[in-house]
Amino acid sequence: MNHATDPKDPLLRNLVLLGLIPRYPKSASVQELRAALKDRGFNVTVRTLQRDLGEKLSLRFPLICNEHGQSLRWSFDSQAQINLPAIDTASALAMHLAESHLRHLLPPGVLDLLEPQFADARHHLQALGHNTLARWAQRVRALPNGKALLPASVDRNVWEQVANALLEQRQLQVDYLSRVKGEIKAMTLHPKGLASRGPATYLIASVGDYTDNRHFALHRIQRAEVLEAEARSDDFDMDAYLPTAAFTPRQGTGTVELVADVHPDTAWILRETPLSEDQTLEPLPDTDWLRLRASVADDQETLWWVFGLGENIHLHHPTRWAADISRRATSVLHLYRSV
């Protein structure tokens, strides 16, 4: 017999069982836990499982048992500091640094789901104050690039329903707030994937009987419910979809050549972090400025980046971008004319 799934091995069985018990407010019945154990090769009786939970595990672990109708449902305490297997110091440091980075990316409701793991990492590092890796956590920080906006707030139940619909490949009924019309609209979505961009997270899905994919900001989903019906299946390719997605308004297709004169400080940054693989920086006569050439995406985001450099760049091409920047600069000058 394979000892990895030997139902007579109570230690291994109970370790697997502990990993199946969700954190409160989620819960699982004895019947659900028994079915999950059976899927993993442990075929035990309800009575054995009840005895393991009530007479052994609940005495040694922070388990919660609640009555739900005629059945008992089990959960881990939501604040329980437990990690099976125990976290090591290097992993704790990685988790601690990931927490500071994700604070800028994930909505609070999603971060709450990871809080027990983050807390485990913090407690582990605090208990090892003399350890070299533990001291690193006090000296390393993840900083956002530029001004970081606070993540958009996503309802925790919405996140859970979206995640479940994606994992189970089921249709999702949502009430969605349209940014354009300012109205809430009910729709049935066929989820395809998730994309995080800056402070917002988007669900990529098709709507109803339509086959084209769109993206929906999770913070604009007012209500979500997983349906029993299976989502429409196709050969969705996330990497192929993202370049065509209208996360930022595109002005054309493909790329354009950006030609501009840049301040030496800007040129220094671009040498270290180029705009593109084919970027070049050439000295200009009678000045310390440099001529920049690079192939860039023909989109609004790149134009905003150029505009944000202000007096440190003089754009020559694309000419329509130069004209747009000239109009924007005139509008800004008008706003501050009285200062």
Residue 166 belongs to a domain with what CATH number? 2.30.30
- Domain membership flag for residue 300: yes
pLDDT in tens, 303-319: 999 999 999 999 999 99
If asked whether residues 68 and 95 sit together in one domain, one would say no
Query: Do 65 and 109 lie in a common domain?
Result: no
User: Which domain CATH number covers 21?
Assistant: 1.10.10
Instruction: Using the predicted structure, report yes or no on whether residue 113 has a pLDDT greater than 80.
Output: no
User: Looking at the domain assignment, is residue 237 inside a domain?
Assistant: no
**High-pLDDT (> 90) share of the chain, %:** 34
User: Is 169 inside any structural domain?
Assistant: yes
Residue 243 domain-assigned? no
Please give the pLDDT value at position 2: 45
Residues 289 and 264 in one domain: yes
Q: Does residue 179 lie within any of the structural domains?
A: yes
| Contacts of 244-251 spanning 24+ positions with Cβ under 8 A | 245/195, 245/204, 245/215, 246/215, 247/195, 247/197, 247/202, 247/215, 248/299, 248/300, 248/301, 249/299, 249/300, 250/297, 250/298, 250/299, 250/300, 251/298, 251/299, 251/300, 251/303, 251/320
Domain boundary among 28, 50, 76: 76
First-to-last CA distance in the chain? 84
Q: Is residue 238 in a domain?
A: no
Looking at the whole model, is its pTM more than 0.75? no
CA–CA separation, 57 and 130 (whole Å): 33
Q: Could you tell me if 66 and 94 lie in one domain?
A: no
Mean pLDDT on 153-158:
86
What CATH number has the domain bearing residue 295?
3.30.70
Identify whether 110 is part of a domain. Answer: yes
How much of the chain exceeds pLDDT 70, in percent? 86
Q: Which domain holds residue 181?
A: 156-232
More confident position, 94 or 189: 189
Number of domains in the chain: 4
